[in-house]
Amino acid sequence: MSNSRKNLVLSLLIVCIFEHGTTEAFVSPNRISTVIRTQHKNNQLPLYAMNENGGNEQRAFGDMSPQKSSRDIITVRSSLVEETDSVVEEEESTNTDILLKQTDQMGRNPLLDKLIGKFDDSRLAFPEIGTKEVSRNFSNLSYKKNENKVTQAMRNEGSVVGAAALISGCCIGAGILALPTATAPSGFLPSSAALGIAWLYMTISGLLIAELCINRMGQTGRLGVGLLELYKTNLSNTLSTVGIAAYLFLHYAVMTAYVSKGSENLATFLNSVGLNSITSVHGLDQLLFVSALGSLVYFSQQKTVENVNNVLVIGVIASFLTILGIGAGTTDVPALLNPVNQHPELVVDAFPICFLSMVYHNVVPTVVTQLEGDREKITKALIGGTTVPFLMFLAWNGIILGNIINEPGALDSGLDPIAFLQSQGIGGESLGVAVSTFSELAIITSFIGFIYGLLDALTDAFKLPLQGELFEKYKPALYAGVLAPPLLFSLGNPDIFFDALDYGGAFGVSTLFLVLPPIMVWKQRYDEENTDTLTVPPMVPFGKVPLASLWKAAGTLILEQGAEKLGLFDFFKHLFVEKGWLS
């Protein structure tokens, strides 16, 4: 090293010490630059990393307010990377040796750490993340001119309540409409336990995806990380293909269910106003349903669609509260809780719909961005956002089952309790109207969201932008790819609503959200060959235990449902029991 460069490095270190802070060298994951910054005891400093053009890019740890002085940030250009690397590696080696000695002195069991999984804090980009001195990973900024016409950077802090509401809204869709059909044979209490398990596992799954998103954002330095990108970057080519296939399968299955149920409700409405001639033509109600909503999304600005959707969501909430108000008074609670009406041996068949009801994972990247990668806020939003629909599902299930439980044959397997309640006029005409309104509005709001979700997936698959001239060129083909398959499947089988959701829950949800996220997190945390810098500690405690638990749940669900849907259980029952092979 030349004397001039030695003097420069020493001068920088002396300046840092003079500022009464400690020095730390940070080498960005993409090796663009090295930043030496001061850590003040009572002040969290912003962190800047130089971009490829030498300009300052906010990489964001700590207070990103524009009032901070740039003199607190000392940036060393890329030419010094090699000269500081040896110092950094020597310090890391020393710190690791000290940490190992401290661990031994604390009496921890290395074997237990190996089995359960111990996270290596040294892989964190900054120690303040692990110690929670810094809560968020970046800041969302907007620029406005003040009264003096001077442009100022303003922080847009995301709302935990708003993020939780977004998650809750995603959960309220086709799943809640299929719940009574799935849970009626097993009874209210066993199905409530199944819902509780689904809530727990799907919340853990969402937290794992949030962890993957935060780390991916830290590695790339950009926002807007989607699920498909996580599959591509964290899995092998084979598993990535499985993930993308499961993603498309789940979305098309759910959209097929929406078309089936939505067109059925539309036909009921048209018949009630005397337009029987429309519903008498096969498939015309499905075509009207898809055309109406597809045209709304295709021809309208996204802001217009959002405003329409917000009004419909208000209708969903109002109709659900009406159902609670009317249905609670006519629910037979003693019969609902009677042990005679509980059949836990049948509850396994309810799990696919229970898991499907708790799907919200498409919006997790959005929540991570809104809450600026803040681990605590994201955790609160995910837990709160999934707890609200979980409680709604319990109430909905109790009211629907509690109103039909004394009717002969109402709880038979395969019967739709909602349709039965409406056709028999149980609970009065007002309850039937409220249930129909809630059902249709929940389907419409969810269908709109799934259109956008599939559109994102197709544009990502074909490397197309989401706006601009190139997007407009392929826009008709993209929307045809989104809307035509579910319409055709629904035309081929108008009563496919429950089966589509059942298969989607058993194979799509279990693969996407119970199998793949634990694999990706395990590889990222515990793979000895993976040395990528991470920007968040584990979002879910207890190491490998919850990861293995998700695998077991998914494996059991896939094998059991696969065997049942292939008829293997009936085959062996016929072979060993009816033919007397066991006698």
Query: How does pLDDT run across 474-506, given as a tens digit for each residue?
Result: 999 999 999 999 999 888 887 787 888 888 888
Q: Which residue has the higher pLDDT, 443 or 126?
A: 443
Dist CA 538 CA 215 (whole Å): 10
pLDDT band (50, 70, 90) for residue 52: very low
pLDDT confidence of residue 212: 94
pLDDT, greater one: 275 or 30: 275
The 10 Å Cβ neighbour count of residue 547 is 23
Percent of the chain with pLDDT over 90: 22
Average pLDDT, the chain: 76
Query: Tokens representing 528?
Result: 């000895």
Q: Is the pLDDT of residue 36 over 90?
A: no
In the predicted model, is pLDDT for residue 1 greater than 70? no
Q: Determine how β-strand 73-76 pairs with β-strand 34-39.
A: antiparallel
Q: What global pTM score does this model have?
A: 0.73
List the structure tokens of 354.
């229970």
pLDDT value at position 575?
Answer: 63
Largest Cα span, the chain:
94
Are 259 and 498 in contact by the 8 Å Cβ rule? The answer is no
Which parts of 106-220 fold into alpha helices (H)? 110-116, 127-131, 160-171, 174-183, 188-220
- Distance CA(339)–CA(189), nearest Å, equals 9
Read off the pLDDT of each residue in 370-396 and give the average, rounded to a whole number: 92
- Could you tell me which residues come within 8 angstroms of residue 252 by beta carbon, excluding any fewer than 6 positions away? 454, 485, 486, 489
Top pLDDT among 14 and 99 is at: 99
User: Which residues partner with 145 through β-bridges?
Assistant: 151
Alpha-carbon distance of 416 to 435, in angstroms, equals: 13
User: Which whole number is the average pLDDT over 435-443?
Assistant: 87
Residue among 308, 242, 298 at smallest CA distance from 452: 298
> For residue 381, which of 103, 166, 119 has the smallest C-alpha distance?
166
Residue 26 pairs with which residues in a beta bridge? Answer: 35
Q: Give the C-alpha separation, 555 to 547, whole Å.
A: 12
**CA–CA separation, 352 vs 354, rounded Å?**
5
pLDDT band (50, 70, 90) for residue 271: confident
Compute the distance between CA of residue 434 and CA of residue 128 in angstroms, rounded to an integer. Answer: 52
Taken in order of first residue, the domains within the chain and their CATH numbers are: 3-131 (no CATH), 160-574 (1.20.1740.10)
> pLDDT confidence of 61, banded at 50, 70, 90?
very low
> Tens of pLDDT along 298-351?
998 878 887 888 888 888 889 999 998 988 888 999 999 999 999 999 999 899
Q: What pLDDT, on the 0 to 100 scale, is given for residue 328?
A: 87
First-to-final CA distance of the chain: 87
pLDDT band at residue 100 using 50, 70 and 90 as cut-offs:
very low
Residue type, 336: L
Least confident of 43-57, 159-173, 387-401: 43-57
Closest CA to 357 of 257, 230, 460, 429: 257
Q: Quote the CA–CA distance of 134 and 123 in Å, as a whole number.
A: 16
**Helix pair 302-330, 429-461: axis angle to 10 deg:** 150
Does position 385 have pLDDT exceeding 50, yes or no?
A: yes
The predicted-structure confidence for 126-173, as pLDDT tens digits, reads as follows 777 777 777 787 777 777 777 777 888 777 777 888 888 888 888 888
Per-residue confidence at 204, pLDDT binned at 50, 70, 90?
Answer: very high
- DSSP three-state, residue 221: coil
Share of the chain above pLDDT 70, in %: 77
Please choose, from the candidates 139, 245, 176, 186, the residue with its C-alpha nearest in 3D space to the C-alpha of residue 394: 176
Q: What is the pLDDT of residue 8?
A: 37
Residues 213 and 365: beta-carbon distance below 8 Å: yes
176: tokens are 């809640």
Residue 218: count of CB within 10 angstroms of its CB:
24
